[in-house]
Structure 1
């Protein structure tokens, strides 16, 4: 599946587990309105996405581009 060319690609598996969620959430928090990044992970990041929605309800749109089993790619856009 072709993925549009986002300005930022977040490769989650390379981040240290103790700081992974907070690092990614900080990046999302810095997005200007209309900005899109591609989050790539080796498993479905549902817990992270639930946390994002809980902390900033309705602020981001999530679009799965790939859904496993070994790679998940999600476009995250600040609405």
Structure 2
């Protein structure tokens, strides 16, 4: 699974904060089950069943769960990669 899909999944679950940092650490193979885990008050990560991290997010500030805004951010992020 490419990083942009991991990014989209994490934002859908956690929302968008005023300040965010993302650290991608690997590609996900086919058939790997993933979970979003809270690593602390300001950190979340996408991990597999063995705890291997694929994407870590650090966030602070107000959080928006507005799905239209999240979709807009994800779409613009993916387009910037093209």
- Under a length normalisation based on structure 2, what TM-score does the superposition of the two structures give? 0.29
Q: Which has the larger radius of gyration?
A: 2
Between structures 1 and 2, the one with greater strand share: 2
